[in-house]
Structures are given as structure tokens and as C-alpha cells.
Amino acid sequence: MQLGLPAVYFCSQECFKGSYSQHKTIHTIAKQIAEANRPGSHRKTPPDGITCPVDSPLSLKLSLPTWASNYSFTGDLRPTLLSPKRTITNPKVRRPDYADHFAGVSESEQRDRASNNNIRVYGPDELEGECNLRYACAMGREVLDEGGKALKVGVTTDEIDRVVHEAAMERDCYPSPLNYYNFPKSVCTSVNEVICHGIPDYREVQDGDIVNIDVTTYSRGGYHGDLNETFCVGNVGSDGRHVVQTAFECLQAALAMVKPGTLYRDLGTTIHKVAAANKCSVVRTYCGHGIGSLFHTAPNVPHYHKNKAKGVMKEGHVFTVEPMINLGGPNDTTWGDNWTAVTTDGKWSAQFEHTVLVTKDGCEILTARENEPVMTWNPDLVQR
């Protein structure tokens, strides 16, 4: 009531619990609006203390967001402010259901999670044709390649976000991360000790950084294609190069197992063996997932040893494999932005990801590089 919101009544305690997440989000937004309208507040400074315009003074752009002022970081990386959220400028782009939701909630995913335990089987009608699943994955590959070309010493991850966003617009695709549960950008950029879900900002990439670019595109046909790669920028040290190659080899070994009859849980054992042989560890918190008409769906694909994933691979299954490999221990924590996952020991992490289709006698990498149907390690392809 103090925020000017109408009174809300819940029919039961269970009803309250089920609606609490959205209820809390509404209150957070109302508080931000109230703060922005408070007499004496600076209209050019967002109430969240997170963003500033692209033409702001460099000193402002490189300042810490408000949440970080007293935050205890695990490594050397520090966030800066963000540019404003980018807009969808192409009227042909199809928007997923979460694109305009105030909390970025995908209601179709929530319904699927509540009512469906089966792994979807995709047939020719869904895989082929204009803007279908195979097309979405091919567009994702093209967009990632554009983002990778732009990466170099001195470029900001915000610039990578701009390149990725515009490349998606040019291909009539929605950049799937944008507003997904309020993620503020069109791509994830994870630098050094960041494991995943790094938010592009005004920080310039430094000589010796490793940078993961994670792209997902949503086609006009209503399908997502998801992939990522970790790049070595400039003169990366031996440890950085080691974890990048190990992450590649972990995914390479896992994809070699994909065929009808393979248990989803067995991929984690193979990934663990490759990582352990290279004295690295596997992140347990985040996993691969089914994908297609939904951004995230069944199956869950854990990357660690002795997991309890359910399901057997069948022809027509489509999912991602995306092991996150750390130089140090496997544990992670999340920054105060509620997205950026980092290693708890501050040591570096790397990742590669593909969307794959189970075929009659193996798998097809739907997000493969051109002329590379089987993953092949070439350090020149990840050097920037």
C-alpha cells in the first residue's frame, strides 16, 4: 500500500507461495519507480545504479554498480556499468513469450515443467524448412562467428553484445537471452573466472583474457539454437590455454558418445575423466538441456560423474551439451547481479557448447562450424 499498489489477497498459503516470486518482483519494480520519481533524484541516473548511457563519461561507465561497492569478489575481475537494454528493431522478428513479460518469465516453459517429463522427438517437419530448428541453429552459428570476429584486445563486452544483437536482427532472429528472466543483454560474455551468464558491460577486454561468448537465436519459425565458445585474447598464459583446450576436449569426448541407447547420465562420467586427466574440475551447478521450441526443457544433461540424470537417447532428441571446466575446484558462487556465476577460488573457467540432434547411428552437431561435422581442436580458431 505504501508503494501505491492495490491490495492483493491470496486464497491460501499455497497460493501465496506459488505467486511469491512474481509478487516480490512487482514490489521491486515499484520501489525503483518510486525512487526514480523521488524529488531531488537525478533523472539521468537510473534508480538501480547499474546502467548509464553510451555517451556517458568514461569514469562513470567504468564505475562499479551499486551492488558491487561492498561485495567480496573471489577473483580479479570487476564489473562496470551496463549500457541500456537494446531494442528489437526488425519487425519481422518473432518474440518468445518471455520477451515482453515484466519479470521475463517463460510461461510456456513453466507449463512444460509442471506437466511434461517426456523428451520431445523432433521429426523432419520441425527440423527442415524455412526458419525451423536446423535453421535456428545455423543462424546461431553465424551470429557467434560475428561476435567472435569482433573480439580483440581493447573491445568492450558491451560492443560484443551490440554486434551479436545486430547480427541477430539481420537474420530475422530474436537474441534468446534478452529479457529471459530479466537477463539484460542479448548474449552472455564470461571472462576469466566467470563460469557462465556473464553480463556484457563497459569493461575492455585485456591482453591475456579468456572470453566465452554464449549465443542463442530464436527463429521466425519458433525455435532456439544454442552454442558457445571460449576464445583466447592476445597473449594468454599456459594455464588459460590449458583450461580452454580441456573444455573443448571434454565436449568433444561427450559428443562422441551421443547415439540412440546412450544414457544421458553417462556423458558426465566421460567428461569427468577427461577433466580429471587434465587436473581440472567440472562445475556441478549448471547442466545441458533440451532445446527447440522452448529455450530450456527436458532432458537435463549434467556434466559431472555419478549424476542421476534420467533418460535414454533416442533418434530425434535435440539437446545441448555444455561442460564448464575449472582450473581449480568445482564450486561456484553468484555475483550480486544475480546472474554472473564465478569460481569460488577465483581460478579461471572455460566452456564450449553445441546443440546436437540424435540420429539413427550417432549425432549431428546442429551448431557446428562450417565444414567441421566432428569437433576438431585447432587453437588458431579460438585465438584473437
Rounded CA gap, 56 and 222, in Å? Answer: 37
Q: Is the distance from CB of 298 to CB of 290 less than 8 angstroms? A: yes
Q: What is the pLDDT of residue 7?
A: 57
Q: Between helices 157-170 and 133-150, what is the axis angle to 10°?
A: 140
Q: Is the distance from CB of 127 to CB of 133 less than 8 angstroms? A: yes
Q: How far is CA 18 from CA 29, 264, 289, 337, in A?
A: 19, 31, 24, 24
What is the SS3 assignment for 78? coil
* pLDDT of 48 over the 80 cut: no
pLDDT in tens, 308-362: 999 999 999 999 999 999 999 999 999 999 999 999 999 999 999 999 999 999 9
Percent of the chain residues past pLDDT 90, beyond the cut: 84
* pLDDT of 61 over the 90 cut: yes
Q: How many CB atoms lie within 10 A of CB 142?
A: 19
* pLDDT of 41 over the 60 cut: no
In 220-261, the DSSP E strands lie at 224-232
What is the SS3 assignment for 51? strand
pLDDT in tens, 235-244: 999 999 999 9
pLDDT bracket for residue 115 (50, 70, 90) = confident
Q: How far is CA 36 from CA 25, 33, 364, in A?
A: 17, 5, 51
Average pLDDT over residues 209-238: 98
pLDDT bracket for residue 128 (50, 70, 90) = confident
pTM of the model: 0.87
Alpha helices by DSSP H, the chain: 13-36, 58-61, 107-115, 124-127, 133-150, 157-170, 238-255, 266-277
Q: What is the pLDDT of residue 311?
A: 96
- What average pLDDT is seen over the chain? 91
Q: Is the distance from CB of 93 to CB of 139 less than 8 angstroms? A: no
Q: What is the pLDDT of residue 37?
A: 43
Q: What is the pLDDT of residue 223?
A: 97
Q: What is the pLDDT of residue 22?
A: 64
Cell of 316: 530425434
Q: How far is CA 191 from CA 14, 177, 179, 259, in A?
A: 41, 17, 21, 33
Q: What is the pLDDT of residue 42?
A: 33
Which residue, 83, 79, 5, 89, is CA-closest to 46? Answer: 83
pLDDT in tens, 168-190: 999 999 999 999 999 999 999 99
* pLDDT of 167 over the 50 cut: yes
Q: How far is CA 76 from CA 49, 72, 302, 362, in A?
A: 22, 11, 28, 42
Average pLDDT over residues 264-293: 98
